[in-house]
Amino acid sequence: MADRIHLYQAERGIRINVPCTDGSKWLTFHRVDGSRSTCTTEGGHLVHLHVMTELERDGENWKVVDGE
The range of the structural domain enclosing residue 34 comes to 4-64
39 and 61 in contact (C-beta within 8 Å)?
no
Rounded to an integer, what distance in angstroms lies between the CA atom of residue 46 and that of residue 55? 19
pLDDT at 39: 98
Rounded to an integer, what distance in angstroms lies between the CA atom of residue 3 and that of residue 25? 21
**pTM: predicted TM-score of the whole model, two decimal places:** 0.89
Radius of gyration of the chain (CA): 11
55 and 65 in contact (C-beta within 8 Å)?
yes
Looking at the structure of the chain, the number of domains it has is: 1
Rounded to an integer, what distance in angstroms lies between the CA atom of residue 67 and that of residue 36? 18
Q: What is the pLDDT along the chain (68 residues), one digit of tens a residue?
A: 679 999 999 999 999 999 999 999 999 999 999 999 999 999 999 999 999 999 999 999 999 998 64
How do beta strands 54-58 and 15-17 pair? unpaired
